[in-house]
Amino acid sequence: MAANSAPFGEGVGMRIHHSRLLRTALIVAVAGLAVTGCTFTGSSDGDNGRTGGQTGDQGGNGNAGGNNAVIAPVIADLASIDGSTVTVPLDNVVVLESGDVKVTVWTGSVSDPKVAEFVAGKDDGSATFNPGIQPLAVGGTSVSVTDSDTGEVLTFDLEVTP
């Protein structure tokens, strides 16, 4: 066996090459960030450390001829969302971009909980997750989000499409 193809996990009858395992883990991690709207708090590539919601190639997962497309979330900026309408397909999510405001201060409510639910933002010390809206059914509803530090309330309409 070549030096660079040493098996990983050999004790459980599984042979995965280290380079393939690392490449697969990286693809899964990046895809997960794009879908959840997660942002790293560590080093960055010059965009202040935020990664969730960045635009990029949405045609595949980085593999040549890849047809396992990662759907980019719908990004809504809380600084300009008040009084607007946000449209999202049922199989997607809305990421509420909080800008310089801590993601953990936002609370939310959805008038029709059958259509969508509010998902609170969190910071687990290694990653920051923006608050968001998870569609549950096709339809329309009103959403209110509140900055618990300032008391500011923002209201917008949400349209979930098939």
Give CA–CA dist 138/114, Å, rounded: 9
Q: Which residues pair with 8 in a beta bridge?
A: 16
Query: Tell me, what's the pLDDT at 69?
Result: 81
Give CA–CA dist 16/11, Å, rounded: 12
Give CA–CA dist 40/46, Å, rounded: 12
Over the chain (162 residues), the average pLDDT of each successive run of 10 is 44 39 42 45 38 38 59 96 98 96 97 98 95 98 98 98 98
| Structural domain boundaries in the chain | 74-161
Q: Give the CATH class of 74-161.
A: mainly beta
Do 95 and 52 touch, CB atoms closer than 8 A?
yes
Query: Tell me, what's the pLDDT at 65?
Result: 52
CA–CA distances in Å: residue 35 to residues 2, 13, 91, 119: 37, 32, 11, 14
